[in-house]
């Protein structure tokens, strides 16, 4: 029974992927869409597209294979894009990965593809596949790709990137193509990852391609001249009258879902050629990637009869009365069910069910009024069943899963009349939380930890509560599964569906993500407790403190009511400089421990997401000296440096460019531009002369990193300096002290090699490529196998003051509370204060 359920999960999520609307909202399917689904039902072709990140995929190609060729088309994104930037909100890292996962699902709902993942984590920029493989754990990612191939059984695999050009693009990109190249031969070999064969079969795809374009050749001219013997091509500019859209219009809408990456774009129409370079497998017998591959039902035993039935159904389809094909559809459903096991059976039965429901206007919904529920809680489920056709439909039974609550419900579903029922269910006390499954255990930098291997690949965690409807349609028994949903009518939005979440009884919100102990060794930590259920327990809130830290009081007692309340602890830090973590926990009388915080991620283009993470605050003990009182700061693209400077007692005035002419600049010990100021601030060219003058008169002007393209003024430095794309991505890279006597390494804080330990994500980016010898170089970083780069921090005395250009990633290190980075940054701010 247990195994059967796992198999069911595997087929339902990884194989059927999007057919049972994962966005919770029922899909409203028009007759045109039913017709397109029938065409797809008659096709057994399958494509797997492989790349590294959400947004790498070619949505035109995915839409074309799905909507024009009617192939089962899946995008395997090896990562969830945790390492990217977020242009629409504050979420970064894991939380950004959740947004980007949902953006991919939103894109697939538009272009009709399926979406799967591997466990690989997007750990940030990587210069080459060797580093990528080391950090990801190559074998684990190969395991996941082979698993995806065996489950999805593609005829052809298409790589987005070239596996032969390491070093020319992100290491994750080349890496994705290299792994796909290897996995292609492994998936069909039963000796490789034999454990997977308990749940699926080996599968040998026919062909592997690289989805190339002129861009990979350097220019259109070079591509024109290149030998194209190995290339096949497709004109993907099709127009779909059934959908009223061109392929590229659909593709642009799909791609525009990657909003947190700023990928919104215009649609286009008309003929457009995509190229596919043949890499291995059986060479195509014609000029198209699928040439010579049988994609009809004839390819399987007993399939010709099925194909004939589907063709007849398509011919007789009546757009005004789709239910008229129901008797034939039920017959087809039974015929497919009676086929021997084959790679397509489960998937096609699922498609059949979806078409049957659409043709009958069958609406089956189980909803609750609770958005978030707690293990042990009793909830009411409201059922609404309606048949909006003349087909004969009877309901026999409903089963609420996984609690196995069976309800006999023998009734006819008459034309257009709602049947309803209300049933209460008590969640088991061991119900699992609906948290993203890849975040439940701590993984490594490069790989999520997923204990239940059956979950690998799934885009999201299956919802906990679902309903199985046992129906009889035109005399044929059929089981239909649906998640229990939460929906509400909202005055400003109308009907809103949200995923039904199972959450812990208590969640804890730390009010301070980070606490700095700099001048004072005593700080207040505020902890908000949310109790999501009423009971008569008396529970205890306490802190798990690192050695040397003391809390006063040591605990708070909590009552068992449903409430939200704030509790404070006075934390005393030891003298020794360090960075630690404190965790909050609630211990209940019956021995449960709750220690999670709950985030909600809410945007219009994706379903609301609820995420549980450890309730933790970073404690940073700094022994830092500062001679700086006040600085001026102008934000560029946006960073959080000013709030962290305030934490160590430095007054930080936030200004805009328009303030410059009227501001007394001499009041500032230093003046800083935020990240990418030269790229983002219109009018910076007008402000620069006054700021350079300020530096010359004894001030200290500091520029942080800018990208080398799209700089809005060339006159940002008193001496020649050019920005390159040089970066040091290894946050643990060796450091060479070039000028140990330089003021910036000694005053007011003494800096040594230990201050470069425990940095995060990277050392820095877009370092200057050339610079005048007026600049001092004081430290150098290097990535593995590369030369030391000395230009991460360039300091030039200028008149009576200083000018500094620094590509070091201060915007990452300060918010992460890295003590050494704070000290060096304060020394940079202090450059002009020491001798004045």
Between 125 and 415, whose beta carbon lies closer to Zn ion?
125
Q: Which is nearer to Zn ion, 55 or 155 (CB)?
A: 55
- Asked if 258 touches Zn ion (CB under 5 A), the answer is no
Least distance in angstroms from the C-beta of 83 to Zn ion:
10
Q: Which CB, 477 or 725, lies closer to Zn ion?
A: 725
- Closest approach, Cβ 141 to Zn ion, in A, equals 15
Cβ nearer to Zn ion, comparing 56 with 505:
56
Q: Considering the complex, what minimum distance in angstroms separates the CB of residue 261 from Zn ion?
A: 9
Q: Which residues contact 825 (CB under 8 A, 6 or more apart)?
A: 810, 814
Residue 19 Cα distances to 56, 73, 473, angstroms? 23, 13, 20
Cβ contacts of 94 within 8 Å, gap of 6 or more: 82, 436, 439, 611, 613
**Least distance from C-beta 75 to Zn ion, angstroms?**
13
Q: Where are the beta strands (DSSP E) in 120-224?
A: 156-159, 207-212
The distance of closest approach from Cβ of residue 53 to Zn ion in the complex, given in angstroms and rounded to an integer, is 4
Range in contact with Zn ion (rule: CB under 5 A) among 55-63, 130-138, 426-434, 517-525? 55-63
- Is the sign of the CA dihedral 189, 192, 195, 196 positive or negative? negative
Q: What's the helix, strand, coil split of the chain in %, to 5? A: 30, 30, 40
Query: Looking at beta carbons only, is 56 or 474 nearer to Zn ion?
Result: 56
What is the per-residue binding string for Zn ion in 3-32, x denoting contact by CB under 5 A? Answer: ------------------------------
> Of 436-455, which residues contact Zn ion (CB under 5 A)?
none
Nearer to Zn ion, 56 or 762 (CB): 56
Decide the pairing of beta strands 539-544 and 555-558.
Answer: antiparallel
**Using rule CB under 5 A, residue 119 touches Zn ion:** no
Q: Name the minimum Å distance from CB 73 to Zn ion.
A: 20
Residue ranges in 34-53 that form contacts with Zn ion under rule CB under 5 A: 53
**How near is the Cβ of 84 to Zn ion at its closest, in Å?**
8
Assigned token pair, 191: 């000796």
For position 56 contacting Zn ion by CB under 5 A, the verdict is yes
| Cβ-based nearer residue to Zn ion, 2 or 709 | 709
Tokens in use for 183?
């996995």
| Neighbouring residues of 805: CB distance < 8 A, sequence distance ≥ 6 | 702, 703, 717, 721, 768, 771, 775, 794
Residue 531 near residue 558 (C-beta atoms within 8 A)? yes
CB of 79 to Zn ion, least distance (A): 9
Q: Could you tell me the smallest distance in angstroms from the CB atom of residue 821 to Zn ion?
A: 28
Site for Zn ion in 749-808 (CB under 5 A): none
Closest CA to 485 of 4, 11, 21: 21
- Nearer to Zn ion among residue 165 and residue 715 (C-beta): 165
CB-CB neighbours of 537 under 10 Å:
16
Q: Which lies closer to Zn ion via its Cβ, residue 56 or residue 354? A: 56
CB of 23 to Zn ion, least distance (A): 25
Q: Which residue is nearest to Zn ion (CB)?
A: 53
Calculate the dihedral angle through the C-alpha atoms of 649, 654, 657, 661, rounding to the nearest 10 degrees: -70
Q: What is the DSSP letter of 441?
A: B
Least distance between Zn ion and beta carbon 54 (Å): 8
How many CA atoms, within 13 angstroms, populate the side-chain half-sphere of residue 260?
A: 32
Please give, one letter per residue, the 3-state secondary structure of 493-560. Answer: CEEEEECCEECCCEEEEECCCEEEECCCCEEEEEEEEEECCCCCCCEEEEEECCCCCEEECCEEEECC
Task: Return the residues of window 494-553 that contact Zn ion according to CB under 5 A.
Answer: none
Closest CA to 517 of 581, 583, 575: 575
**Minimum distance from residue 513 beta carbon to Zn ion (Å):** 28
Report the SS3 class of residue 801: strand
The region of 56-64, 160-168, 186-194, 777-785 touching Zn ion under the rule CB under 5 A is 56-64
Contact window for Zn ion (CB under 5 A) among 54-62, 66-74, 198-206, 292-300? 54-62
Query: With respect to Zn ion, which residue has the nearer C-beta, 57 or 249?
Result: 57
| Token pair recorded at residue 501 | 């979440």
How many residues make contact with Zn ion (CB under 5 A)? 2
Question: Which is nearer to Zn ion, 37 or 53 (by Cβ)?
Answer: 53
Return residues touching Zn ion (CB under 5 A).
53, 56
């Amino acid at each position: 029974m247990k195994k059967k359920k796992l198999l069911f999960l595997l087929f339902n999520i990884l194989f059927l992927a999007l057919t049972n609307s994962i966005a919770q909202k029922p899909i409203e399917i028009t007759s045109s869409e039913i017709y397109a689904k029938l065409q797809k039902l008659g096709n057994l072709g399958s494509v797997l597209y492989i790349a590294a990140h959400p947004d790498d995929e070619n949505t035109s190609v995915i839409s074309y294979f799905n909507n024009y060729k009617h192939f089962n088309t899946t995008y395997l994104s090896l990562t969830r894009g945790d390492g990217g930037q977020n242009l629409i909100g504050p979420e970064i890292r894991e939380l950004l990965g959740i947004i980007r996962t949902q953006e991919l699902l939103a894109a697939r709902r538009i272009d009709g593809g399926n979406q799967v993942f591997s466990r690989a984590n997007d750990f940030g920029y990587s210069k080459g596949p060797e580093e990528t493989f080391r950090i990801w754990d190559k074998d684990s990612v190969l395991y996941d790709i082979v698993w995806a191939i065996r489950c999805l059984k593609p005829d052809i695999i298409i790589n987005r990137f070239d596996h032969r050009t390491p070093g020319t693009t992100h290491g994750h990109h080349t890496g994705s193509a290299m792994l796909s190249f290897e996995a292609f031969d492994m998936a069909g070999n039963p000796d490789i990852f034999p454990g997977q064969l308990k749940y699926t079969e080996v599968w040998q795809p026919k062909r592997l391609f690289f989805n190339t374009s002129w861009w990979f050749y350097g220019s259109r001219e070079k591509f024109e001249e290149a030998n194209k013997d190995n290339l096949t091509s497709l004109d993907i500019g099709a127009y779909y009258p059934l959908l009223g859209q061109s392929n590229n219009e659909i593709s642009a809408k799909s791609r525009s879902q990657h909003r947190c990456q700023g990928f919104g774009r215009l649609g286009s129409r008309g003929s457009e050629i995509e190229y596919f370079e043949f890499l291995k497998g059986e060479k195509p017998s014609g000029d198209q990637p699928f040439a010579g591959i049988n994609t009809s039902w004839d390819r399987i035993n007993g399939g010709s009869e099925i194909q004939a039935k589907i063709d007849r159904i398509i011919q007789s389809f009546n757009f005004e009365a789709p239910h008229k094909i129901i008797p034939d559809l039920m017959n087809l459903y039974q015929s497919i069910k009676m086929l021997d096991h084959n790679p397509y059976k489960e998937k096609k039965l699922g498609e059949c069910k979806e078409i049957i429901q659409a043709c009958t206007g069958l609406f089956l919904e189980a909803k609750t009024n609770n958005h978030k529920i707690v293990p042990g809680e009793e909830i009411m489920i409201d059922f609404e069943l309606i048949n909006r056709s003349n087909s004969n439909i009877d309901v026999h039974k409903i089963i609420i899963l996984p609690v196995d609550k069976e309800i006999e419900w023998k009734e006819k579903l008459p034309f257009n009349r709602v049947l309803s029922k209300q049933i209460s269910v008590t969640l088991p006390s061991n119900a699992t939380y609906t948290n993203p499954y890849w975040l439940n255990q701590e993984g490594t930098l490069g790989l999520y930890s997923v204990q239940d291997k059956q979950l690998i690949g799934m885009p999201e965690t299956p919802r906990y509560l679902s309903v199985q409807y046992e129906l009889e349609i035109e005399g044929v028994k059929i089981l239909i599964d649906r998640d229990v949903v939460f929906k509400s009518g909202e005055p400003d939005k109308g009907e809103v569906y949200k995923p039904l979440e199972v959450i812990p009884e208590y969640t804890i919100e730390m009010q301070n993500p980070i606490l700095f102990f700099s001048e004072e060794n005593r700080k207040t930590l505020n902890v908000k407790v949310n109790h999501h259920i009423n009971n008569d327990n008396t529970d205890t809130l306490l802190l798990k403190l690192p050695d040397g830290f003391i809390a006063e009081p040591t605990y708070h007692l909590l009552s068992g009511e449903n409430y939200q309340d704030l509790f404070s602890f006075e934390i005393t830090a030891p003298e020794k400089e360090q960075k630690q973590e404190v965790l909050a926990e609630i211990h209940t009388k019956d021995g449960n421990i709750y220690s999670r915080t709950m985030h909600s991620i809410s945007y219009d283009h994706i379903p609301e997401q609820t995420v549980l993470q450890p309730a933790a605050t970073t404690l940073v003990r700094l022994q830092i000296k500062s001679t700086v009182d006040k600085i001026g700061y102008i934000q560029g693209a946006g960073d959080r440096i000013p709030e962290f400077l305030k934490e160590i007692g430095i007054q930080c005035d936030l200004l805009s460019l328009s303030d410059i002419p009227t501001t007394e600049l001499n009041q500032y010990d230093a003046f800083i531009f935020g990240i990418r100021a030269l790229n983002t601030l219109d009018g910076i060219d007008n402000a620069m002369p006054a700021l350079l003058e300020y530096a010359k008169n004894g001030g200290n002007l500091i520029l942080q990193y800018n990208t080398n393209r799209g700089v809005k003024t060339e006159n940002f430095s008193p001496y020649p300096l050019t920005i390159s794309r040089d970066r040091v991505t290894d946050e643990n890279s060796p450091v060479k002290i070039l000028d140990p006597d330089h003021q910036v390494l000694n005053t007011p804080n003494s800096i040594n090699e230990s201050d470069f330990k425990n940095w995060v994500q990277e050392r820095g980016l877009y370092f200057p490529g050339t610079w005048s010898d007026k600049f001092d170089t004081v430290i150098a970083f290097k990535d593995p196998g590369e030369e030391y780069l000395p230009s991460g921090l360039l300091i030039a005395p200028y008149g009576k003051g200083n000018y500094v250009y620094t590509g070091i990633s201060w915007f990452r290190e300060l918010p992460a509370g890295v003590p050494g980075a704070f000290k060096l940054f304060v020394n940079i701010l202090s450059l002009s204060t020491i001798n004045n």
